[in-house]
Structure 1
Amino acid sequence: MPTTASPSSSSSGSASASEQPAPARVGRPWRRGDPQLGAQVLWYSYPGETDASVRANALRLVNYMVGKHMNAISVTFPFVTAGPAASRVGASARTPSVRHLGMLMDTAVAAGLRVTLRPLLDERSLVARDPLAWRGSLVPVDRAVWFRSYEAFLSPYLAVAASHHASTFVLGAELTSLEDDPRWRSVVATARKSFSGELSYDANWDDYVSRHVPVPVDHLGIDAYFPLPRLGDDASVAEIAEGWQRWLDRKSTGKLPRIVLSEVGIIAEDGAYRHPAVWTGGGKLNATVQQRWFEAACRVARDQDMAGLYWWNLDFHTAPAGGTPAGSRTSFLGRPAEAVITSCFRTWPR
């Protein structure tokens, strides 16, 4: 996840109807063995969020995704901790309720979308104690307590994933400093008692290429923000794709049919290729930089027969048809990159 990606400040209100219409249907609903072609939906709950507003937002969002030839949705929601050394985690006022998460999942399933549920540690709960901290640098005073707390936190979300037909549950994302802990075996074993679907883990890009990620899950995802510091803003799609491939080859060469690109995104600014994980560059607006990055990511994922690709991100509360939110450099909505998504997924071999 980008180091400064934060929830939108847009209002949670949406028009509601007395009877919710059915969502649009994917032309070819996802089937086992199909690539996962979707987006990460980032959901920070707002005060006063109601069943009606959640249903309306879910319908609007799912219809947009179907229109972009997506067949999958990954729902990212936050949890918090008191600081880098804290030994407990939990939900916050911004964490959507399991009831509301179920409503979004039901809407997505009714449209034929494959559903993933994905908790992500909110870094704002860390930087108040240490400005340089991030979710990959946790050093809990008592690791045993941390893992017991994490298992307890995950429990209701695993249950809602099971009851609302999610295909995958992501047990963790970018928790680099904790990945070597043998207690992950307990997390996985406990999760399997309530969730029979696929269990996955999303590694940060540098962690993925530098070592074996030992979390014992079914599949691995990559939050893919590979820096290409030698490329200028006029770099071609082929040059960007070659740069991505060099990074991936550090891990292994050849096809990657068990790997999902769980986050792909970049800010629409000059200089972004040098630090794609940083979304506060302050450079000049450059939508072409973002467009070519998306084109290159699509090319690499297809060439390597990857299991899927998820764009970062769609805010649950933003109306996609409204285009880029005012002042945003991070969104792909209404920019050339949005057309890349449509073309990429429409022509992807199934």
Structure 2
Amino acid sequence: MKDSSTENKIKIRGVNLVAPPEPFDPVYFDSLVEMGVSHVAVVPFGFSRKGVQKVVFNHERQWWGEKDKGVIKTIELAHQNDLEVLLKPHLWIFGDGWPGDFIVEKDSIDQWFTDYNHYILHYAEIADSMNVDMFSIGNELRKLVVSYPEHWKDLIEKVRKVYKGKLIYSANWDNYSQISFWDELDFVGINAYFPLPKNKAEELSDFESIKSSWTPWVEDLKELNLRVNKPIIFTEYGYMSKDGSYNGHWQVSDSAYNEEDQALAYDALLSVFRSKEWWVGGYSWKYFMKSIPREEYDRRDAFIFQGKKAEKILKKHYTTGY
């Protein structure tokens, strides 16, 4: 007889960890375990700049949690708490931040990818040496993955030679259907900041309407799964504590503070996807390894779910089977 508490439980019940500026108290892993978290994403940032062919990483001026020493220690502590790890390098683009619109001039692309390969292979070797469960070869580089697919296939081949675990790429929500190398990976990774509703004429007002508004996106993702025959993981998902947070964070960042809408958006997403066989789970964005002062909830980073209604929703889904 199946245990009803584990039946239909989300397989990957993850959070993205914010790399801290300095060593953190391991007690925060106790809070994650109590929340039902089973997986964590560790995020070592690298830095690039338009017009420059270099990718800078593990620099002395970076935060402790972004450098090798902090990355290794965080992975060690996660494993000590029986949490599986996704090592997920991110690029930060000087002057822009988000890497989605980052482009490299054609006459510089080979040199840039040589440097990017060095960055990714460095962390692939760390991932292999520490028995990390999954490794991401990139994050939201939506223009570079479309323009230079052969460079990515070459990178995947190189990573396979140094890392024995599962490979994924973390695609932006508006870019996953344009990627031609899903066959070379073990999972489809999507940063699932889908704006709801897809049809802008639709009005959302409550939990059921938000759930229903997922239908067009669910159909698209199901088609992708059938086409590439790979399970789908949300390498990031999350919502701001803002009015209408489910509309897309870039559209609501100036809206009023609203914990209820953030919680509704979390609840709707997890309620919809937990029953889909092709969806393996996801990693909420994002978890700070420190206590968050109440006055920072909205002012500093509205994606924070700690201490808000959304944390209770996350715990509900991560600790129970339906």
Q: Provide TM-score, normalisation by structure 2.
A: 0.83
Q: For the structure 1 residues 119 and 255, does the alpha-carbon distance in structure 2 shift closer, same or farther, using more than 3 Å as the test?
A: closer
Distance across 2 between alignment mates of 1:105 and 1:190: 23
Q: Is the 8 A contact 1:224 1:261 kept in 2?
A: yes
**Counterpart among 102, 111, 121 of residue 155 in structure 1:** 121
Aligned in 2, Cα 1:157/1:339: closer, same or farther, shift over 3 Å? same
Aligned to 2:5: none
Residue 118 (str. 1) matches residue 88 (str. 2): yes
Residue 269 (str. 1) matches residue 250 (str. 2): no
Cross-structure match for 1:335: 308
2:284 to 304, 311, 321: 311
Letter in 1 for 2:14: G
Q: Give the Å deviation of 1:195.
A: 1.0
Instruction: Give the Cα–Cα distance (whole angstroms) in 2 for the partners of residues 231 and 63 of structure 1.
Output: 44
Q: Is residue 71 of structure 2 the alignment partner of residue 101 of structure 1? A: yes
Specify the alignment match of 1:5 in structure 2.
none
* CA offset digits 1:175-215 (Å, max 9, x no partner): 1111132011221111112210011101111112x434435
Matched, 1:78 2:45: yes
Structural RMSD (CA): 2.6
Q: 1:135 and 2:105 equivalent?
A: no
2-structure distance, mates of 1:304, 1:255: 11
Contact 1:89 1:153 (8 Å CA) reproduced: yes
Structure 1 residue 309, shift from structure 2 partner: 1.4
Q: 1:191 aligns with which of 159, 179, 191?
A: 159
Offset, 1:238: 2.4
- 4+ residue segments displaced more than 6 Å: 231-234, 254-257
- Tell me the SS of whatever aligns to 1:252: helix
Distance in structure 1 (CA, Å) of the matches to 2:74 and 2:48 = 26
Whether contact under 8 Å (1:76, 1:120) holds in the other structure is yes
Instruction: Using the TM superposition, give the Cα deviation of residue 153 of structure 1 relative to its aligned residue in structure 2, in angstroms.
Output: 1.3
Query: Among residues 293, 314, 318, which one is paired with 2:265 in the alignment?
Result: 293
Q: 5+ residue gaps in structure 2?
A: 1-8
Going from structure 1 to structure 2, the CA distance change for 1:166 and 1:293 (only over 3 Å counts) comes to: same
The residue number in structure 2 matching 1:346 is: 319
TM-aligned CA distance change 1:348 to 1:78, over 3 Å? farther
- 1:155 positional shift: 2.5
Which letter does structure 2 place at the counterpart of 1:75?
A: V
Say whether the 8 Å CA contact 2:242–2:252 is kept in structure 1: no
Task: Give the number of equivalent residue pairs.
Answer: 297
Q: Following the alignment from structure 2 to structure 1, what is the Cα–Cα distance between the partners of residues 70 and 170? A: 24
- Whether the 8 Å contact between 2:245 and 2:252 is mirrored in structure 1 is no
Distance 2:285 2:201 in 1: 22
Q: TM-score, normalised by structure 1?
A: 0.77
Q: Secondary structure at the match of 1:74?
A: strand
* Residues 118, 172 of structure 1: 8 Å contact kept: yes
The structure richer in helix per residue is: 2
